[in-house]
Structure 1
Amino acid sequence: MSRLIIISNRVSAPKGSMSGAQGGLAVALQAALRESGGIWFGWSGEYTDQFTGQINFQRNEGVTTATVDLEEQDIEEYYNGYANRTLWPLFHYRIDLAEYERDFAGGYQRTNERFADTVRPLIEEEDVIWIQDYHMFPLGAELRKRGFNNRMGFFLHIPWPPRRLLTTLPEAHELVASMFAYDVIGFHTQEWLESFCDFARIELGATLEGDGVVRLGDRTVQLLNCPIGIDSQDFTKMTNSDVAAATFDQMRKSAVDRAMIVGVDRLDYSKGLEERFNGYERFLEENPEQRKEQFLLQIAPPSRAAVDSYQRIRARLEAMSGHINGAYADLDWVPIRYVNQGYPRDVLAGVYRAARIGLVTPLRDGMNLVAKEFVAAQDPEDPGVLILSRFAGAAAQMPTALLVNPLSAEEIADAISQALVMPLKERIERWKPLYDNVMEEDVSWWRERFTAALMPEGQLQRQEHPAEAED
């Protein structure tokens, strides 16, 4: 059986099943590596004065990880620059925030070349390579240049933008053309798969050959609509853990018989937090009779503190929460509890279960697993209501949630009011199909669906990649 080589920007070593800190993606990829005896390669998160390509190997719970340190310039240009200040805003439809700097693009390409050179000795002839996310779009092409003819897949964990937005990227044609080095490319939704096809067809002259196959020159790639899920069985067990139960009791006591609305998001402009606060304020303004019957708990751990736009959003949210609390709070009630720190997943499971409403309103999101975790954590006899942005990838799988336009304060306000008075029967009727989908199309389903396309019936059906060998 062939080994699986997973390559991603960051590597997650196993932390133990009871830590409550492991995400579903890490759990799924680690399971795949245990089955195949493969390696997970990526950046260590650490700096080095001079890049040497020295690899740090670790083996934990049957999973081998291989990490490499990067120079400060690489991190600034590849990670903080091109990945997070160019690609991230552009692929989340925020071209107003995208920064197009040649140094960023150059550092991104250079670092991917370094990754290719460093991982090169680890890859054997029969290995199957699975590359993760937007940090490494060109890595497959770089490996082909170094002579690798292995089966190779790529999964994009964020949205793919429409053609007219992507054309604003100076390197767009080269970036998309490089992706034809892969044999399989996965997207969370059919919409984003079609956007990729649209660009490849109109801008590059690619042809569609049916059943998700796209051809550019002598290369074909299989496109796959493959939405990721959570580790649903494990998360459900976590919801019934001692930590989750204690958190549930704590939240119910602190609520003092009020309904809790919960939002859990990284501090990121794509999550629509400012718009969410505007919608919540509109609800308070228009529903004075419901004000003191509920409160909003917004958990927003900081991220990417080195990027200016993230510093600005934190300052704005602190000002907005202070304004709303100042305008509407009373002696015995505060409308917003705004918390800037993260919590383990077992703690969050208890928080979700205690909430009457899950408020998940990103402006654009690859999937949004918080929505699925909220559903999985609910009491089947008395479930809460999920309010979900129609622009999250999860919306395609969750039509019985209350779907809203996150840019509309009125829609958010109306949905909150509707959810607070929704009868138990309707809550159960809306929750049950959401739960069934979360349990069925979980992260293991996602992994198996993608790897089945990458390794059909276990056979490595290779395409020739002339050229490109350097040796």
Structure 2
Amino acid sequence: MSGDNSFVVVANRLPVDLVTHPDGREEWSPSPGGLVAALSPVLEEHQGCWVGWPGVSDAAPEPFRNEAGVLLHPVKLTEADFEGFYEGFSNATLWPLYHDLIVEPVYNNDWWDAYREVNLKFADEVAEVAAEGATVWVQDYQLQLLPGILRQLRPDLKIGFFLHIPFPSPDLFRQLPWREEIIRGLLGADLIGLHLPSYVENFLNLTRQVSGHTGSHTGQPDELQVSGEPKVREIGAHITAADGRRVGVAAFPISIDLSSVRQPAVEEITQLREKIGSPHTVMLGVDRLDYTKGILQRLLAFEELLESGALDPAEVVLLQIATPSRERIEQYRVARSQVEEAVGRINGRFATIGRPVVHYLHKSVPKSELSVYYATADVMLVTAFKDGMNLVAKEYVALHGDGSGALVLSEFAGASQELDEAYLCNPFDLESLKRAINTAVQALAQNPESAQDRMRELHEQVRTHDVHLWASSFEDCMAGFSGEAVHTPSGDTPGGSSGRVAGKVSRD
């Protein structure tokens, strides 16, 4: 039996947290983030529903509507589900594999079984709530089997999938013992969305290679449309799946909701600068404490710049916000230990009484408070070894529409393909990282007009390519699919969405 929701978003997590009040009373509190803010208008328009895990093992609320009016439908997971599916296969197998083996993935059969079973649980819930012929939009790497399972359970559904992390090169992905199953799961979708053209090309090349091993007809792209500017092109293709359907694959660079970005008052910025000793230059890092984010290398570069005299510890401060993440996984505990050791060493060497040179917070910071940090920072440091996009960079740029500030950005973050006026660096090369930081600082001091022009161009890119364009582009593209063969007009992305997903604003 089908439900009555014509548009369903499926993600690992619901936008909700379990809050325990001082009197012991527990309450499920909505916590909308960027994704729900982007998708809420679509969900409301289509009588939509959000399916996901509420974030607590062995517990789930009854379905309820959040403040935006979106129906939240929970998937109940056990502690064993969480350990095998989330901590295990999702984040100790897929996460490092998709981030270019920064640490070694673990291939564990029990974790794979848990991943498959949890994807089946999600599929059962979606099949229950989705109306006949509904559109289902599956989000991210934790649910890559879901499109294929749904295709079998509910062939009437129109299914989209979006990957929020990088898609690796075929040579890396082929290490995965369950590579054919993952590809078959993804190809259950009508449309697969990735951040960048390079990820699309990785996926297309992989499906060619995997199809050669399996003898199936998956992964045979028969059309490839490439248009737009050469830096970030619109790119789309159709792949013929094993059941004869044509699956669209295209690049949709995700962004942020500028309307949700709060511009802090001048007094808030002044107060923060005073709290940290009124330095001449404030540098900022905002990251989950993840080994992919390059936090340690950022600190090492900062330390060497202080040591060489390129930065004066009496005039510069680095604020590092490191949000706790996956703390039960060994590699994350190691990353935290290394970062905190470096913070202590740098302050031991260069701080004075009452004035540390590194202010370090290992906790979640409310969005309203985070905006004050963004607005205060003269230099933003985004130095990830690998990142699907990185919205922190875009959030910082959004708060500097006046041209103030400078962005130091890893060339391996997806955002670098759009934000190419940032001071780009190779985070694996400490000299490159130091050079980018020093260049940004000097540009603000010695060539402010040029620095302002760069930041204004970055801001225009973020303003004109926001999260609503991302969501509407994907939705428009999905609307062109009927579950059968689709014909792509010349110059369009799959589904006939022309000109909506270009990644770089025109300079003309």
User: What's the TM-score, normalizing by structure 2?
Assistant: 0.84
Shift of 1:332: 5.8
What code does the residue aligned with 2:400 have?
A: Q
**1:374-421, Cα deviation, whole Å (9 max, x unpaired):** 1111250x5100000000010000010000001111112112211112
Match of 1:430 in 2: 454
2:201 is paired with a residue whose SS is: helix
**1:39-85, Cα deviation, whole Å (9 max, x unpaired):** 10111222229xxxx87210123211100221111111111110111
Query: Which aligned pairs between 1:191-230 and structure 2 lie closer than 5 A?
Result: 191-205=198-212, 206-210=219-223, 211=225, 212-217=237-242, 218-230=244-256
What code does the residue aligned with 2:152 have?
A: K
What code does the residue aligned with 2:6 have?
A: R
**1:330-388, Cα deviation, whole Å (9 max, x unpaired):** 346422111111211121111111111000010001111010011111250x5100000
Partners in 2 of 1:213 and 1:421 — Cα distance?
48
Partners in 1 of 2:78 and 2:311 — Cα distance?
57
Does the CA-based 8 Å contact 1:188-1:226 persist in structure 2? yes
Partners in 2 of 1:399 and 1:187 — Cα distance?
19
Shift of 1:246: 4.8
2:288 is paired with a residue whose SS is: coil
Shift of 1:446: 0.3
Partners in 1 of 2:239 and 2:367 — Cα distance?
39
**Mean alpha-carbon deviation: is it higher for 207-216 or for 436-445?**
207-216
Shift of 1:97: 2.7
Query: Which aligned pairs between 1:230-309 and structure 2 lie closer than 5 A?
Result: 230-235=256-261, 238-240=262-264, 245-254=266-275, 255-288=277-310, 290-309=312-331
Partners in 1 of 2:143 and 2:409 — Cα distance?
30
User: What runs of 5+ residues in structure 2 fail to find an aligned partner?
Assistant: 19-28, 213-218, 226-236, 486-508
User: What's the TM-score, normalizing by structure 1?
Assistant: 0.91
2:470 is paired with a residue whose SS is: helix
1:399 is paired with a residue whose SS is: coil
**1:141-193, Cα deviation, whole Å (9 max, x unpaired):** 11122143311000000000111111111111221122111110011111111
Does the CA-based 8 Å contact 1:350-1:377 persist in structure 2? no
Partners in 1 of 2:350 and 2:30 — Cα distance?
36
Partners in 1 of 2:55 and 2:340 — Cα distance?
29
| Of 314, 321, 326, the match for 2:336 | 314
| Of 78, 82, 85, the match for 1:78 | 85
**1:186-231, Cα deviation, whole Å (9 max, x unpaired):** 1111111110111001221421122311223313211111011100
What code does the residue aligned with 1:38 have?
A: G
Q: For the structure 1 residues 14 and 442, does the alpha-carbon distance in structure 2 shift closer, same or farther, using more than 3 Å as the test? A: farther
Q: For the structure 1 residues 87 and 247, does the alpha-carbon distance in structure 2 shift closer, same or farther, using more than 3 Å as the test? A: farther
Shift of 1:290: 3.0
Partners in 1 of 2:309 and 2:31 — Cα distance?
38
Match of 1:26 in 2: 36
Q: For the structure 1 residues 266 and 20, does the alpha-carbon distance in structure 2 shift closer, same or farther, using more than 3 Å as the test? A: farther
Shift of 1:303: 0.8
| Of 54, 59, 62, the match for 1:56 | 62
Tell me which of the two structures has the higher relative contact order, counting C-alpha pairs closer than 8 angstroms and 6 or more residues apart.
1
Partners in 1 of 2:50 and 2:81 — Cα distance?
21
**Mean alpha-carbon deviation: is it higher for 408-417 or for 352-361?**
408-417
Query: Which aligned pairs between 1:407-426 and structure 2 lie closer than 5 A?
Result: 407-422=428-443, 423-426=447-450
Match of 2:116 in 1: 109
Match of 1:372 in 2: 394
Partners in 2 of 1:271 and 1:122 — Cα distance?
37
Does the CA-based 8 Å contact 1:182-1:221 persist in structure 2? yes
Does the CA-based 8 Å contact 2:133-2:156 persist in structure 1? no
Shift of 1:115: 1.4
What code does the residue aligned with 1:3 have?
A: S
Q: For the structure 1 residues 147 and 353, does the alpha-carbon distance in structure 2 shift closer, same or farther, using more than 3 Å as the test? A: closer
Partners in 2 of 1:446 and 1:379 — Cα distance?
21
What code does the residue aligned with 1:75 have?
A: F
| Of 13, 21, 25, the match for 1:10 | 13
What code does the residue aligned with 2:34 have?
A: G
2:239 is paired with a residue whose SS is: strand
Q: For the structure 1 residues 21 and 378, does the alpha-carbon distance in structure 2 shift closer, same or farther, using more than 3 Å as the test? A: farther
| Of 379, 382, 385, the match for 1:363 | 385
**Mean alpha-carbon deviation: is it higher for 220-229 or for 201-210?**
201-210
Partners in 2 of 1:227 and 1:14 — Cα distance?
28
Match of 2:404 in 1: 383
Match of 1:125 in 2: 132
| Of 40, 61, 75, the match for 2:50 | 40
**1:118-155, Cα deviation, whole Å (9 max, x unpaired):** 32221121210100000100001111221433110000
Does the CA-based 8 Å contact 2:98-2:165 persist in structure 1? yes
What code does the residue aligned with 1:39 have?
A: C
Shift of 1:14: 11
Shift of 1:21: 6.5
Q: For the structure 1 residues 246 and 109, does the alpha-carbon distance in structure 2 shift closer, same or farther, using more than 3 Å as the test? A: farther
**Mean alpha-carbon deviation: is it higher for 211-220 or for 307-316?**
211-220
Greater share of residues in helix: 1
The number of aligned residues is 448
| Of 391, 395, 400, the match for 2:416 | 395
| Of 339, 349, 357, the match for 2:371 | 349
Partners in 1 of 2:104 and 2:267 — Cα distance?
42
Shift of 1:38: 1.0
Partners in 1 of 2:425 and 2:94 — Cα distance?
26
Q: For the structure 1 residues 21 and 110, does the alpha-carbon distance in structure 2 shift closer, same or farther, using more than 3 Å as the test? A: closer
Partners in 2 of 1:276 and 1:233 — Cα distance?
31
2:152 is the counterpart of 1:145: yes
Shift of 1:93: 1.1
Shift of 1:328: 2.0
2:344 is the counterpart of 1:337: no
Shift of 1:307: 1.0
